[in-house]
Amino acid sequence: MTTSAVILAAGCGSRLGAGASKAFVPIGTQPMICYCVKAFSRLSEIDDLVVVVRKEDMDRMRQVLQPAADQLRLVEGGKTRRDSALAGVRAAKGDLVLVHDGARPFPSPSLIRRVLAAAQRDGAAIPVLPITDLLHRADGAGHINGEADVSAHALLVRAQTPQGFKRTLLLESLEAAPPGVRDDATAVLQSGGGVATVPGEETNIKITYPSDLSLAEAIAAHL
């Protein structure tokens, strides 16, 4: 079985206040996208690497990723996350595909391999972490009105990427999914498929707000 990695790097980063695509925001001495590309390109299990980019960022992305140009292909993204994922999966050549959020710069080799092994076994798999904070219900007016259902809380998890799938399964699921579907696992579930879980990692953070960059700098310093 061959494996493709699809990195979604078409986000604008409005909440980050970057003023440009999030992929180009520096962490230490490198743009964020470089950490993602290195995470996958260094693994022998990855046969094919696709980076999904906004049309207006194509030229800059080629320059930034020029040292790895022979290891990857750039694909134009769409208006929604689902559209960008679909473009990447359509371009992928592998029997299995790992879809990764370009705003998560630090997936470890062991995490990627866990997801890949589970996807090979079960057809679909995602990394997850438990929710450790106490959850309350909010009334929308600035008040809480009770603790969230404890029984439900025990079953909730935080989803991460990369998310791994048999390519044909994910392709069919994304093609059938509504534009607003929030991740690939949800698309598979909505199409009637099952999704396995593997342990995620606390260092596999998603860069969303400016405060996240300080933590990212600390993680990068120990790589």
Residue 180 domain-assigned (yes or no)? yes
Domain extent for 94: 3-128+159-221
DSSP letter (8 states) at residue 39: H
Total residue count of the chain as it appears in this document = 223
Residue 141 domain-assigned (yes or no)? no
At 69, give phi and psi (nearest 5°): -60, -35
Residue 143 domain-assigned (yes or no)? no
Per-residue pLDDT of the chain (223 residues; tens, 9 = 90+): 999 999 999 977 666 656 678 899 999 999 999 999 999 999 999 999 999 999 999 999 999 999 888 889 999 999 999 999 999 999 999 999 999 999 999 999 999 999 999 999 999 999 999 998 888 888 878 888 877 776 677 789 999 999 999 999 999 999 999 999 999 999 999 999 999 999 999 999 999 999 999 999 999 998 8
Number of domains in the chain: 1
pLDDT of residue 222: 87
DSSP letter (8 states) at residue 19: S
Residue 138 domain-assigned (yes or no)? no
Cis peptide before 105, with omega less than 30 degrees from 0?
A: no
